[in-house]
Homo-oligomer: A and B are copies of this chain.
Amino acid sequence: MNTIRILVTGGTFDKEYDELAGSLFFQDTHVPEMLRLGRSCLKAEIRTLMMVDSLDMSDADRANILEHCRACPCERILVTHGTDRMEVTARLLGQSNLGKTIVLTGAMVPYKFGSSDGLFNLGAALAFVQVLPHGVYVAMNGRALPWDKVRKNRKTGMFEEIEA
């Protein structure tokens, strides 16, 4: 079993409720807790690169993610990411031709909310990253779409397949 590198960048996935301020914020990632809940036996190494809303992600942040994907000895990489700019980061990674299987996933509702899609998405993304050929994919809504064929529909919140 090969090790999967999990790069955490934040996103809705990891938003917490700040009970004093009454707003959402980032603390630590929930990915380790989610892996325990899923009783995962995969060899996964988790690195938190940043904890940001993808709307606040800068080009420098994206370059940082790219650099980690490139430098990482693992051939299979999962990136947790805010959904609003997931396709932008996917495009950068895809155009860089890293010769690895990279899957981006996230959540529409914070993991800590009862109605979160996060655990479902993480399970799917971990499965896809193990078996898909080299390339960059967005895993949302139960499927994996190639980086050059995916767009988030802002009205429905669903990731759609588009012409490359």
Residues of A within 8 A of B (CB): 1, 12, 17, 19-20, 22-24, 34-35, 37-42, 53, 55, 84, 108-110, 112-117, 119-128, 130-132, 139-144, 154-155, 157-159
Contact = CB atoms under 8 A, between A and B. Distances in A.
A23 B24 contact: yes
A12 B20 contact: no
A77 to B, nearest CB: 15
A119 to B, nearest CB: 4
B38 A117 contact: yes
8 nearest CB pairs, A to B = A123-B123, A38-B120, A127-B127, A40-B142, A123-B124, A120-B123, A124-B127, A41-B141
A110 B141 contact: no
Contacts of A12: 19, 22
A79 to B, nearest CB: 16
Nearest to A42: B142
Contact of A127 (B38, B114, B142, B158): B142
